[in-house]
Amino acid sequence: MKKCIVIGGGIAGLTSAVYLSKSGIKTEVIESKNKLGGRAYSIKDRENKTVIDNGQHILMGCYKETLKFISLINASDNFFYQRQLFIPFINSNSEIHYLEATKLFYPLNLFIGLLNHSFLNFSEKISLTTFFIKLAFSKNVDLNKLTVEEWLICEKQNENIRKTFWEIICVGTLNSGTKNASAQIFKDILKKMFLDGNFSSTLIIPQKGLSETYCQPANNYINKMGNKISLNENIIELKIENNSVTKIITDKRIIEDFDFVISAVPLTALTKFYSGDEIKNISLEYSCIISIHIWLKINKLKNKFYGLINSPIHWVFNHDDHITLVISDANYLIKKSNDEIIDMCFAELKKYIKTKREDIIDYKIIKEKSATFIPNVENLNKRQTTKTKINNLFLAGDWTDTGLPATLEGAVISGKKATDLILKTC
Ligand SMILES: Cc1cc2nc3c(=O)[nH]c(=O)nc-3n(C[C@H](O)[C@H](O)[C@H](O)COP(=O)(O)OP(=O)(O)OC[C@H]3O[C@@H](n4cnc5c(N)ncnc54)[C@H](O)[C@@H]3O)c2cc1C
């Protein structure tokens, strides 16, 4: 029986291990931390007896491979699924406006939903609709050299549409603003989200902490198939002989009984144990996401989440016992102290959801400095393919060349691709 070592227990590594297990390949996942999940996990906040995520994660109906993976590990019931796109937006006067697909048939329901979006005037709505019609019929337009903002300006999207609609979509999907992100990758995901059926544009939200939502079910699946996950074990070096990995050196042992290796770690971690020519001298720039979990005396929010218009806080998620504020594209806040960040959040909450400082029982701030790589033109050109120059070494992870931004879907696709390549050689 062939054996594969998967390095990294984030969602990319777990996907590889689940599909390898399904195909009867002996598999071992080696994870350096004491828990699975990588950049998408949950912890128990002892003081407030609440499970919180390191960062709120949202999936979309267009996450086809993630949904298949979730179904395979029997975790589909751990998510809340929208029937059609519905996003409540709040402005700084605390007024709620809904972006909502109507009950009409697809794609008319989405277009009418856009036309009802009350932050835009009539001519802006027409301009947005024209944009989508053009997008639907555009085939091989090369946007590789443009930023999202340059593209939107070419497509006559004025400042108000860019600010109240496009900036929110761009930061929400790419964790990067329109001035920096590549137009090409943005165009590709817009097509997947809005032009691939009704379900694709819907949002899917984990109903439990992330670790319980998908890490534990993946762990159970891998164990049930007779395979193994080793935690607290750090890969130190891959020994290469005759163009193949022959030994894996960890901080606990030397592993020699394997046929294949999948590296499912970020580029920064990979360069510590592998120095192949393809990754020598490349580095990616990252974008931070800050999550602020707040426990309120009384939570008056009615919806599951809200988008905030023209605020440094992009989203507020309502978990009943606490709320989570999300600030994406947050490199500019990395050096700010927690006191400065929370002061800014209090000021915004007062305007947007009329919450006073005295209403707050407790809060916790989690800064994920390297949440996702920035999908700008330079970084996208540095992404690596699954196949390496080494015969039995394959790369996975959200930073590899999946054509998608750094997302759960990108990570799952990368893990599946690595497995498919291995299965082809067996
Ligand atoms: C705050 C936040 C919010 C996000 N929101 C969303 C969202 O709403 N929707 C979405 O789709 N995506 C979101 N993302 C992105 C998503 O979480 C990532 O794209 C995805 O989790 C990356 O998975 P991965 O398996 O490629 O890498 P990782 O999760 O980084 O996993 C790599 C694993 O490898 C391990 N490792 C590293 N070095 C070694 C070593 N030497 N030996 C052994 N193990 C090692 C690490 O400990 C880690 O567990 C968000 C990310 C963050 C941080």
The string of pLDDT tens digits covering residues 382-394 is 999 999 999 999 9
189 and 144 in a common domain? yes
Of the CA atoms within 13 Å of residue 277, those in its CB half-sphere come to 3
Out of 33, 270, 407, mutate this one to test ligand 1's pocket (max ligand atoms within 8 Å of CB): namely: 407
Please give the residue range of the domain that contains residue 136.
102-197
Looking at the fold, whether 119 and 70 belong to one and the same domain comes out as no
Compute the distance from residue 38 Cα to the ligand 1 centre, in Å: 4
Can you tell me the distance from the alpha carbon of 229 to that of 247, in angstroms, rounded to the nearest whole number?
18
- CA 385 to CA 272: how far, in whole Å? 19
Q: Would you say residue 182 lies in a domain?
A: yes
Compute, in angstroms, the gap from residue 134 CA to the centroid of ligand 1.
35
Q: pLDDT digit string (tens) for 152-161?
A: 999 999 999 9
* CA distance linking residue 17 with residue 49, whole number of Å: 32
Looking at beta carbons, which pairs linking 296-304 to residues 24 or more positions away fall under 8 Å?
296/322, 296/323, 296/355, 296/359, 296/360, 296/361, 297/359, 297/360, 297/361, 298/359, 299/323, 300/353, 301/353, 303/88, 304/80, 304/205
Taking the C-alpha atoms of residue 205 and residue 317, their distance in angstroms, rounded to an integer, is 10
pLDDT of 331-380, one tens digit each? 999 999 999 999 999 999 999 999 988 999 999 999 999 999 999 999 99
Q: Whose CA is nearest to atom 38 of ligand 1?
A: 269
Written as tens digits, the pLDDT of the chain (426 aa) is: 999 999 999 999 999 999 999 999 999 999 999 999 999 999 998 887 899 999 999 999 999 999 999 999 999 999 999 998 889 989 899 998 888 877 666 776 777 777 777 778 889 988 998 998 899 888 778 898 999 999 999 999 999 999 888 998 999 999 999 999 999 999 999 999 988 888 999 999 999 999 999 999 999 999 999 999 999 999 999 999 999 999 999 999 999 999 999 999 999 999 999 999 889 889 999 999 999 999 999 998 999 999 998 899 999 999 998 999 999 999 999 999 999 999 999 999 999 999 988 999 999 999 999 999 999 999 999 999 999 999 999 999 999 999 999 999 999 999 999 999 999 998
For residue 49, the model assigns a pLDDT of: 87
Per-residue pLDDT, 116: 73
27 shares its domain with 138: no
Query: CATH number of the domain that 246 lies in?
Result: 3.50.50.60
Atom of ligand 1 nearest to the CA of 370: 53
- Is 50 domain-assigned? yes
Whole-model pTM over 0.85: yes
Please name the amino acid found at residue 95.
E
**H or E segment and range at residue 50:** strand 50-53
Distance 10 CA to ligand 1 centre (A): 5
Tokens (6 digits) for 159: 């400042």
In a domain, 91, yes or no: no
Neighbours of 87 (CB within 10 A): 22
Q: Is 88 domain-assigned?
A: no
83 part of a folded domain: no
Distance of alpha carbon 368 from alpha carbon 371, whole angstroms: 5
Q: Which of 57, 173, 210, 215 to mutate to test the pocket of ligand 1 (most atoms within 8 A of CB)?
A: 57
CA of 237 relative to ligand 1 center, distance in Å = 21
What does the alpha-carbon distance between residue 109 and residue 105 come to, in Å, rounded to a whole number?
Answer: 6
Last residue of a domain, one of 179, 197, 215: 197
What CATH number did the domain enclosing 185 receive? 1.10.3110
DSSP 238-307: EEEETTEEEEEEESS-EE---SEEEE-S-HHHHHHH---GGGTT----EEEEEEEEEEESS----SSEEE
pLDDT at 139: 76
Q: Which residues line ligand 1 (CB under 6 A)?
A: 7-13, 30-33, 38-40, 54-55, 57-58, 234-235, 264-266, 269, 273, 289, 291, 368, 371-372, 397-398, 406-409, 411
Q: Could you tell me if residue 52 is inside a domain?
A: yes
Closest-lying ligand 1 atom to the alpha carbon of residue 250: 42
Kindly state whether residues 331 and 223 are assigned to the same domain.
no
Whole-angstrom distance, CA of residue 418 vs CA of residue 84: 33
Nearest by Cα to 410 from 207, 144, 175, 213: 175
